[in-house]
Structures are given as C-alpha cells and as structure tokens.
Structure 1
Amino acid sequence: MTTAELYATFAAQEARGVSPTYERLSLAVAQSDELLALLETLPEGKRQPNLLYGVVRFLRGPVDEPDAFVDYAVTHWPTVSGEMRVRATQTNEAGRCTALLPVLAKLPQPLALLEVGASAGLCLYPDQYGYRYGDHVVGTGTPVLECDASGLVPPTTLPKVVWRGGLDLNPLDVTSADDVAWLEALIWPEHTHRRARFVAAAKVAAADPPRLVRGDLVDDLPALAAEAPSDATLVVFHTSVLYQVPPDRRRAFADVVRDLDCHWIANEAADVLPYDNLPDPPNEALHNLLALDGTPLAWGRSHGQSLVWFG
C-alpha cells in the first residue's frame, strides 16, 4: 500500500462518520505530493495518520483547515518529523475496557492483569470504572464507559483485580504534564466525550499507579509475568498494539504467551493474528477482533464504542 493509499483508506474506513476533521485531513494528505514525499522519508511504521495528526496537535498546529494543516506540516517538517520519529501512537482509551469486561468477569477470580502496550495503564482498571451496555448498568465508578452491544449477555459484576502490571517500549506517566498532553493530542478533535473520559480515567490511575515496565513484548514479558501473585489468575491482554509489531515478532510473542500459565485476551485488527473461519464483520468500518486464548469471540470498534458478540 502506498502512503497516499494509506491516508485515503484511513479517511474511508476509520475517519468517515467518526471524525470529519481527520477525514478531510487524510484526503488532503493523500493528494499532497509534497507532504507524501516527506512522509516517505520516515520509516514505514512512522507514516501512520494518527501519529502525524497527534504530533501536529501536540505542537499546537492547525487541524481545522486542510490546506493550513498541509502547509504547517511541510513548513515545520524538521520539528514534525523529529517528533514523529520519537513518539508512538499510544492512545490510552479506557473505553476499550467495555470489550474486556465480559471476558474478565467470567474468569476465575481474583485477577492479576498484565497489559502489553500499556501506554499509561488506563486499561488496567476495569474494576474501577462504571459501564453501560444499552440499558444495562454495571458498577458505580467513574468514568462510565458506554458500549452499543449486541449478542451479548452483559456481566452483572465487576472483576476483582489484585495486581496490575504493564509492559511498553515507552511507558507514559499520568502524573507527567507532558505525557498527559501527548495522550490528549491523540484523542480525535470531535471526541469531547473521550477527552472527558480520559481526564476521569487518568485520575483513577494517578490515585493508585500501576507497575509499568519499559521493555519488549517478547523478551521482557516472562519476567514481568513472574511478578504476578501466584494465587491470582494471570491475564495477559493487549488492544490495538500488535499492528505496530513486525509479523515475526508477533509470532514470537504468541509463542511466549502460550508458554505462560495465563489467560490471553487479544483485541486486535482481524489480520494481525491468524484465525480461521471468521464471520464477516458488521460493516465496512474498521473493527477489532476480540479473542480469548486464541478463540474469537466478538467484533468491536477500536475505542470500545460497540461490540457484536458471536462467540
């Protein structure tokens, strides 16, 4: 896929109907030979739309008008590209816990949670948030995470979590103003509800910080997993992380997880891990595939806003 096709596809499959701002920007980038040429000087994994848009917003550049955005990115390319090379799309969306909760609630309690690609660790607190699946409410915490779910019998109780650990190449700290500003820049412009949710979830994490370790998902996972209490059910999970990992390292990671005494929850795009005989996704929008121990269970949007259960 060319860089122009990458941005055009992002406009059609991810931004359309979700962020008019990013749809307009993506179409403009796809048609700008100058900006495309600059993007192609970056490593392939650093050319992604979310990273470019997050960096420009972090730098307080314009995003409301496509021509102004393209002009800013081109004119300030040394600064923009410098940030893109050292930063990553570490979106820390607590709403993704709506997909995790139905699985976590059914596992033997209590739980020790270990998130791969944890960012600042906001998804390590599924027991602290409130949930609304249609008219069904679970928990009394804040923020309240809403999910349009079908085919699902919603959980009636929250899991009991006794240990939280996270692994990331660049773990972020919700008590750091710079890290918080970066995470806010990754929230799409129109998503004021997500921004409010992030602020509330960050307060939860800051009140009881998780154990976050800088490390590689293959080489350093066993050591962190060994820290989990032996009398709790260890759950290794990840959401929208492995697409950034080369295929050979994905396979190595899967082998490592299978060798651990744990349950494994994967919530990734359907082409990231191998599955057979999948049902079709609900529509053409980009969906993640939720799986437990290699068994597919549901299609869901990447921010936890919807879930179609088939498992």
Structure 2
Amino acid sequence: MTTAEAYAEFGSREARGVSPTYERLSQAVARDDDLLALLDGVPPAKRQPNLLFGVVRWLGGPVDDPVTFHDFVVTHWPAVEAELLIRATQTNEAGRCAVLLPVLAALPQPLALLEVGASAGLCLYPDRYAYRYGDHQIGSGAPILECAANGLVPPAGVPQVVWRAGLDLNPLDVTDPGDVSWLDALIWPEHAHRRARLRAAAAVAAADPPLLVRGDLVDDLPALAAQAPTDATLVVFHTSVLYQVPLPRRDAFVRLVSELPGHWVANEAPDVLGYDALPEPPDDALYNVLALDGKPLAWARGHGQAMTWFG
C-alpha cells in the first residue's frame, strides 16, 4: 500500500464518523504531493496518520485546516521528522478495557496481568474502572467506560487483579507531564470525552503505579512473566500493538506466548494475526478482532467504544 493509499484508507475507514477533522486531513494528505514526498523519506512505520497528526499537535501545529497543516509541516519539517523518528503511536486508551473486560472477568480469578506494548499502563487497571454496556453498569468510580455491545451478556463484575506489569520499548510515566502531554496529543481533536478519560485513568494509575519494564516483546517477555505470582492466572494481553512489529518477530511472539502458562488475549486488526475464518464485520468501519488463546470472539472498535460478540 502506498502512503497516499494508507492516508485515504485511514480517512475513509478509521476516521469517518469518528473524527471529521482527521477524515478531512487524511484525505488532503493523500492528495498532497509535497507531504507525500516528505513522508516517503522516513521509514514506513513512521508514516502513519496517527503518528504524523499527533506529532504536529504535540509541536503546537494546526490540524483543523489542511492548508495551514501543509504549511506547518513543510516549514517545520526538520522538527516534525525528528519527532516522527523517535516517537510511536502509544495511544493508551483506557476505553479498550471495556472490550477486554468480558474475557478477563470469565477467567479463573485472581489475575496477574501482563500487557505487551503497555505505553503508560492505563489498560492494566480493568478492576479500577466502571463500565456501562447499554443500561447495564458494572463497578464504580471514574472513569466510566461506555461500550455499545451486541450479542454479549455483560459480566457480573470486574476481575480481581493481584499483579500488573507492562512491557514496552519506550514505557511512558503517568507522573511525567511530558509523557502525559504526548498521550493527550494522540487523542483525536473532537474527543473531549477521551481527554477527560485520560486524566481520570492517569490519576488511577499514578495513585498505584504499575511495574513497567523497558524491553522487547520476545526477548524480555519470559523473565517478566516469571515474576507473576504462581497462585494467580497469568494473562498476557495486547491491543493494537502487533501491527507495528515486523512479521518474523510477530510470529516469534505468537509461538512464545502460546507456550507460556495462563492465557493470551489479543485485540488486533484482522489481518495482523491471520485468523482462518471470521464472520463479516458489522459494517465498513475499521475493527479489531478480540481473541482468547488464538480463538476469535468478537469484533471491537479501536477505542473500545463498541463490540459485536460472535464467539
């Protein structure tokens, strides 16, 4: 897929109906020869729309108008390029816990959670958030994570978590204002509710910081998993992470995680793990596939806002 095609698809499938600003901007970039030439000069993994838009916002640039966006990127390209090369799309969306909750609550309790690609670790607190599936509310406190769920009997309660740890190439610190500002820049412009959710989830994590380890998802996973208490069910999970991992390393991770004790929960785009047979998705929007131990269970929107259960 060319860079232009990637931006056009992002606009039509991921941003449409979710962020008019990013839908308009991504379609404009797809037709902008100047910006495409600049983007094609950085490694493929650094060309993605979410990363470019987040970097521009973090640098104080405009994203609400394609013309001023173009001018800012061209004028400030050395600074934009430098940030693209050192940063990653570490969107730490606590709302994804609403998609993970039905699986986590059904596993043998208590749980030892280990998140791969944990960013700042906000998804390591599914037991501390509240949830609303239609009229059904679970848990108490803030934030309240809302999810439109079809075909699902909501769980009776939140899981019991006795250990939580994260593995990331560049873990972020929720007590560091600079790291939190990067997470904020990755939230799409219109999503004030997600900004409020980020602040609430960051407060939860800052009050009881998780164990976050800088490391590789293959080389460093066994040692971290070995630290989990043996009287808890180990759950290794990840969401919208593996698409950034080269295929050989992805395959090595799948082999490794399949051999670990406990369970493996994946929430990734349908082509990332290559499932044999999947039902048709609910519509043309971009969906992840929620899976337990390699078995697909549900379609899930990227920020946890909706899921359709089929498992």
Q: Give the TM-score normalised by the residue count of structure 2.
A: 0.99
State how far apart, in whole Å, the 1-side matches of 2:156 and 2:306 are.
Answer: 18
Give the superposition deviation at 1:64.
Answer: 1.1
| Deviations, residues 251-289 of structure 1 (Å, cap 9, x unaligned) | 100011011102000000000002112101111100000
Q: What is aligned with 1:136?
A: 136
Which amino acid letter does the alignment assign opposite residue 233 of structure 1? T
Q: What is aligned with 2:169?
A: 169
* SS of equivalent residue, structure 2 residue 236: strand
Matching of residue 268 in structure 1 with residue 268 in structure 2: yes
Q: What is aligned with 1:50?
A: 50
Q: What is aligned with 2:61?
A: 61
Q: What is aligned with 2:230?
A: 230
Q: What is aligned with 2:259?
A: 259
Which amino acid letter does the alignment assign opposite residue 237 of structure 2? F
Q: Give the TM-score normalised by the residue count of structure 1.
A: 0.99
Which amino acid letter does the alignment assign opposite residue 132 of structure 1? R
Give the superposition deviation at 1:27.
Answer: 1.2
* SS of equivalent residue, structure 1 residue 290: strand
Which amino acid letter does the alignment assign opposite residue 155 of structure 2? P
State how far apart, in whole Å, the 2-side matches of 1:47 and 1:284 are.
Answer: 23
* SS of equivalent residue, structure 2 residue 127: coil
State how far apart, in whole Å, the 1-side matches of 2:214 and 2:245 are.
Answer: 16
Report if aligned partners of 1:28, 1:70 keep a CA contact under 8 Å in 2. no
| Deviations, residues 25-74 of structure 1 (Å, cap 9, x unaligned) | 11111111111000000000100000000000000101111100011001
* SS of equivalent residue, structure 2 residue 56: helix
- The runs of 5 or more residues in structure 1 that have no matched partner are none
Which amino acid letter does the alignment assign opposite residue 97 of structure 1? C
* SS of equivalent residue, structure 1 residue 209: coil
| Deviations, residues 204-233 of structure 1 (Å, cap 9, x unaligned) | 000000000000000000000000001000
State how far apart, in whole Å, the 2-side matches of 1:74 and 1:11 are.
Answer: 21
Q: How many residues align?
A: 311
Which amino acid letter does the alignment assign opposite residue 276 of structure 1? D
1:54-203 to structure 2, matched below 5 A, reads: 54-203=54-203
Which amino acid letter does the alignment assign opposite residue 68 of structure 2? A
* SS of equivalent residue, structure 1 residue 10: helix
Which amino acid letter does the alignment assign opposite residue 236 of structure 1? V
Which amino acid letter does the alignment assign opposite residue 215 of structure 1? G
* SS of equivalent residue, structure 2 residue 296: strand
Give the superposition deviation at 1:105.
Answer: 0.5
State how far apart, in whole Å, the 1-side matches of 2:216 and 2:281 are.
Answer: 31
Give the superposition deviation at 1:141.
Answer: 2.0
Q: What is aligned with 2:287?
A: 287
State how far apart, in whole Å, the 2-side matches of 1:277 and 1:57 are.
Answer: 39
**Aligned-residue CA RMSD in angstroms?**
0.5
State how far apart, in whole Å, the 2-side matches of 1:104 and 1:148 are.
Answer: 18
* SS of equivalent residue, structure 2 residue 114: strand
Which amino acid letter does the alignment assign opposite residue 10 of structure 1? F
Which amino acid letter does the alignment assign opposite residue 273 of structure 1? L
| Deviations, residues 1-34 of structure 1 (Å, cap 9, x unaligned) | 1111111111100111110100111111111111
| Deviations, residues 113-141 of structure 1 (Å, cap 9, x unaligned) | 00000000000000000000000000012
- The runs of 5 or more residues in structure 2 that have no matched partner are none
State how far apart, in whole Å, the 1-side matches of 2:119 and 2:277 are.
Answer: 32
Q: What is aligned with 2:239?
A: 239
State how far apart, in whole Å, the 2-side matches of 1:272 and 1:128 are.
Answer: 30
